[in-house]
């Protein structure tokens, strides 16, 4: 029985090799194959629906008709579990999504260095042509593990324009104003602010924004070890965080909510007037996306309303404007074990460095394109209420082009877990802000973060 199994394994391996190798290649892993024909497998958690991915691929095929791209959608919650064995075995994807932070650390040894690819495509001054936030987040050990496709930024709020207008309220600019707005909404039985406080990512955004209001740049410093997590500024951040809960801003039971679908649906169905989302939410400013989202939230026949971006209020009252921060949403990495490397490089180049590729990305309004020269084509995009939305949205897009502060790229998974523990323990009253900050500092040290 044994020899039969070995034989069929060899047959299967040979078949796989011949399928993945481009025409006439020797089949060995050192042969990159042809740059204009072949088949590549692309695994990603985003684009989050295959239809969008197919759009990108068809646009790509207009220029390179002989490269077949197979997109496999793997939900982000299963990403690590699925990709680890796949990459390790060599039977995995040729091109795969890469996100700054924990994923770069995990998968960097399987990603090709794409510095030369960037230079070939954009010239030796390529760094000035792409958003800086996309480079730093995806670089590890001196190697550019992936080319950024687009970035997302956070540190702002989105409000329901209609609800604010209906009750004659102005977007809050300070913590007190925020509390007043919330009380006003409450008196009309409308929810004020909704957040999926059970989840690390979104709590982290809120905390980072509060910290930026307390002391700009402190959060980043703590992330790199240049400041401690129990710095008085962080303690103050946690105190203000607690105030959001006790002061009636956060919705009741917030620590049991998840952002998707709970908070998202509550905001879109008009139950709450404010939500903390980032630039990826811009897509819901369009009629098409909002209508689809409303139907997805279970509302039939609802009319879309305009969502407006507003700056995060100056909750610390120190006069600082809370700056935004961001990361590459995802980049495309090329597997070191790929047998169609040249074709993979063509695809990655097209998606990340050509105007054609980046424009398709930009017009989705989900990511802001990595290539600086490309902006969304607002003339062809249909907003729900252009009169109130066009100006703020365009301002937003321009503003974020200069953001350099990272969002999650610097935090290891362990520190992120500790941040969530700090946030929820303060929110539920189980720990005081000072104690929570001390615990967070200890956890960060235990996780290996070194502090000056």
Partner 1 sequence: MFDIRGRTGKVVLQVIGTVLIVPYLFPLVVMVKGAFAGEGVKNFSAVLSVPGFGRFFLNSIIISAAVIALVYAVTMMAAFGFAKLHIRFREVYFWLLLACLTLPEVVLLAPLFATDTRLGLYDTYWAVILPLSALQVPFAVLLTRNFINGLPNELFEAARVDGANSLRGFIHLVIPLTRPIAAAVIVFTLVAAWNDYLMPLVFLQNPQLQTITLVPQFFVGEFSNDQTKILASAVITAIPEVVAYLSLQRLFERGLSAGAIK
Partner 2 sequence: MTASSVDEVGQRSVQSAGGVGGRPNQHRRRTHRPPGLPWILPALILSVGLIYYGIGYTGYISTLNWDGISPDAQHVGTHNYARIFHDPVFWAAVRHTVVFFVVTFVIQTGLGLAFAVIMHARLKLAAVYKVIIFVPVVLAPAIMAPVFRHMFAPDGELNGVLRAVGLGSLAQPWIGQTSTALPVIMFITIWEWTGVTFVLYYAAMTQIDPAILEAARMDGAGPVRTLMSIIWPEMRGTTVALAILGAIGALKTFDVPYLVTIGGPNYATEFLGTYIYRQTIPLDHVGYGAALSIILLVVALVMAVILQWAGRDRKARD
Whole-number minimum distance, CB 71 to partner 1, in Å?
A: 9
Q: Is 10 in the site for partner 2 (CB under 8 A)?
A: no
Overall residue count recorded for the chain in this entry: 452
Q: How far apart are CA 53 and CA 67, in angstroms?
A: 15
Peptide bond into 261 cis (omega under 30): yes
Which ranges of 141-285 does DSSP label H, i.e. alpha helix? Answer: 161-166, 175-187, 200-214, 218-224, 232-246, 264-268
For partner 1, the closer CB: 294 or 426: 294
Hey, what are 378's tokens? Answer: 């607002």
* Integer CA distances (angstroms), 445 to 262, 415, 420, 452, in order: 34, 9, 16, 12
Quick one: which of 14, 428, 442, 451 contacts partner 2 (CB under 8 A)? 428
Whole-number minimum distance, CB 195 to partner 2, in Å?
A: 11
Contact region for partner 1 (CB under 8 A) — 154-162, 289-297, 415-423, 442-450?
289-297
Peptide bond into 47 cis (omega under 30): yes
Whole-number minimum distance, CB 27 to partner 2, in Å?
A: 24
User: Using CB under 8 A, which residues numbered 97 to 136 contact partner 2?
Assistant: 102, 105-107, 109-110
Contact region for partner 2 (CB under 8 A) — 140-148, 250-258, 277-285, 365-373?
250-258
For partner 1, the closer CB: 87 or 192: 87
For residues 87 and 108, the answer to whether their CB atoms sit within 8 Å is: no
Count the neighbouring beta carbons within 10 Å of the beta carbon of residue 280.
19
For residues 299 and 381, the answer to whether their CB atoms sit within 8 Å is: no
Which ranges of 326-448 does DSSP label H, i.e. alpha helix? Answer: 341-353, 355-364, 386-400, 413-427, 433-446
Quick one: which of 110, 193, 229, 281 contacts partner 1 (CB under 8 A)? 281
Q: Which does 80 bind (CB under 5 to 8 A by kind): partner 1, partner 2, none?
A: partner 2
Contact region for partner 2 (CB under 8 A) — 76-84, 162-170, 347-355, 372-380?
76-84
For residues 130 and 368, the answer to whether their CB atoms sit within 8 Å is: no
Helix axes 115-122, 341-353, angle to 10 degrees: 60
Q: How far apart are CA 314 and CA 423, in angstroms?
A: 20
User: Using CB under 8 A, which residues numbered 70 to 99 contact partner 1?
Assistant: 70, 72-76, 78, 81-82, 84-86, 88-89, 91
Q: Which does 199 bind (CB under 5 to 8 A by kind): partner 2, partner 1, none?
A: partner 2
Q: Classify each residue of 289-313 as buried b or exposed e, where b means 16 or more C-beta atoms within 10 Å of its C-beta.
A: bbeebbeebeeeebebbbbbbbbbb
Q: Is 261 in the site for partner 1 (CB under 8 A)?
A: yes
Binding mask 364-383 for partner 1 (x = CB under 8 A): --x-----------------
Q: Which does 91 bind (CB under 5 to 8 A by kind): partner 1, partner 2, none?
A: partner 1
Element holding 294 (H helix, E strand):
helix 287-296
Contact region for partner 1 (CB under 8 A) — 43-51, 168-176, 209-217, 236-244?
43-51
Which ranges of 311-385 does DSSP label H, i.e. alpha helix? Answer: 341-353, 355-364
User: Using CB under 8 A, which residues numbered 394 to 413 contact partner 2?
Assistant: 413
Quick one: which of 293, 324, 351, 362 contacts partner 1 (CB under 8 A)? 293
- Count of alpha carbons within 13 Å of 26, Cβ hemisphere only? 5
For partner 2, the closer CB: 317 or 429: 429
User: Using CB under 8 A, which residues numbered 324 to 353 contact partner 1?
Assistant: none
Q: Which does 11 bind (CB under 5 to 8 A by kind): partner 1, partner 2, none?
A: partner 1
Total binding residues for partner 2 by CB under 8 A? 34
Q: Binding residues for partner 1, per CB under 8 A?
A: 5, 8-13, 41, 45-50, 70, 72-76, 78, 81-82, 84-86, 88-89, 91, 260-261, 264-265, 280-281, 293-300, 366
Q: Binding residues for partner 2, per CB under 8 A?
A: 80-81, 84, 87-88, 102, 105-107, 109-110, 198-199, 251-258, 261-262, 271, 413-414, 417, 420-421, 424-425, 427-428, 430
């Amino acid at each position: 029985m044994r020899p039969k199994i070995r034989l069929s394994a060899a047959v299967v391996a040979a078949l796989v090799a011949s399928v993945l190798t481009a025409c006439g290649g020797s089949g060995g892993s050192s042969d990159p194959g042809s740059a204009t024909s072949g088949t590549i497998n692309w695994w990603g958690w985003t684009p989050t629906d295959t239809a969008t991915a197919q759009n990108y691929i068809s646009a790509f095929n207009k220029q390179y008709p002989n490269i077949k791209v197979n997109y496999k959608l793997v939900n982000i919650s299963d990403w690590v579990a699925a990709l680890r064995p796949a990459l390790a075995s060599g039977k995995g994807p040729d091109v795969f999504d890469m996100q700054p932070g924990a994923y770069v650390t995990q998968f960097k040894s399987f990603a090709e260095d794409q510095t030369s690819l960037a230079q070939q495509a954009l010239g030796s001054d390529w760094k000035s042509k792409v958003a800086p936030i996309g480079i730093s987040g995806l670089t590890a050990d001196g190697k550019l593990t992936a080319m950024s496709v687009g970035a997302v930024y956070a540190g702002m709020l989105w409000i329901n324009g209609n609800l604010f207008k209906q009750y004659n309220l102005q977007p809050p600019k300070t913590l007190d104003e925020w509390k007043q707005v919330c009380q006003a909404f409450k008196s009309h039985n409308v929810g004020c602010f909704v957040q999926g406080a059970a989840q690390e990512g979104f709590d982290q955004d809120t905390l980072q924004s509060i910290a930026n209001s307390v002391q700009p740049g402190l959060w980043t410093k703590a992330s790199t070890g240049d400041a401690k997590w129990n710095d008085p500024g962080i303690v103050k951040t946690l105190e203000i965080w607690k105030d959001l809960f006790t002061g009636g801003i956060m919705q009741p039971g917030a620590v049991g909510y998840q952002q998707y679908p709970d908070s998202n649906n509550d905001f879109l169905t008009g139950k709450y007037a404010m939500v903390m989302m980032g630039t990826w939410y811009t897509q819901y400013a369009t009629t098409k996306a909002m209508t689809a989202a409303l139907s997805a939230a279970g509302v039939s026949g609802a009319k879309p309303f305009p969502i407006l971006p507003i700056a995060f209020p100056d909750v610390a009252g120190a006069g600082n404007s809370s700056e935004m921060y961001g990361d590459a949403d995802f980049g495309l990495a090329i597997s070191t074990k790929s047998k169609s490397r040249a074709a993979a490089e063509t695809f990655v180049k097209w998606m990340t460095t050509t105007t054609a590729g980046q424009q398709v990305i930009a017009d989705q309004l989900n990511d802001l394109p990595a290539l600086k020269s490309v902006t969304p084509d607002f003339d062809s995009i249909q907003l729900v209420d252009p009169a109130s939305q066009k100006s703020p949205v365009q301002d937003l897009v321009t503003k974020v082009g200069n953001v350099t502060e990272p969002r999650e790229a610097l935090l290891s998974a362990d520190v992120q877990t500790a941040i969530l523990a700090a946030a929820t323990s303060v929110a539920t009253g189980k720990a005081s802000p000072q104690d929570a900050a001390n615990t967070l500092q200890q956890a960060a040290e235990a996780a290996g973060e070194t502090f000056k």
